[in-house]
Copies of this chain bind each other. A is one copy, B any other.
Amino acid sequence: MKAVYSISDLAAEFDVTTRTIRFYEDQGLITPLRQGTRRLFRPRDRTRLKLILRGKRLGFSLAEILEIVDLYDAAPGESGQLRLLISKISNRRAYLRQQLQDIEATLSDLDAVEARCVKRMSALGESI
């Protein structure tokens, strides 16, 4: 666990292009330090990137992902802000639960398809 990473370090580790990482910075998703003109990524930035990619695998847009990762290090002092944050979290949870249902439904569909498939194969007298 290094203290700083170059842009190509992270690109290699997470299998994205440097262009992608710069684009994420452009969109305000990451804010690496600078040493002169070069970007310096701290562990914090690395974590952010990891979260971004996780969000992408779940099909969220970058705008949504920005909202989500911003939840993580929001430290609002006022109680109105806190209430808003909690409500956002609740919305996000509802969405994720829907996704869970979708995945389970799909997995069970796949089970059925595969079962038919195996049956058909054994009918053909084939070994698996």
Interface residues of A (CB under 8 A from B): 54, 56-60, 68, 71-72, 75-77, 79, 82, 85-86, 89, 92-93, 96, 98-100, 102-103, 105-107, 109-110, 113-114, 117-118, 120-121, 124, 126
Contact = CB atoms under 8 A, between A and B. Distances in A.
A72 B103 contact: no
A103 B109 contact: no
A107 B96 contact: yes
Given A57-B98, A72-B113, A107 B93 contact: yes
B121 A54 contact: no
A103 to B, nearest CB: 5
A100 B100 contact: yes
B54 A120 contact: no
Contact of A121 (B57, B82, B105, B106): B82
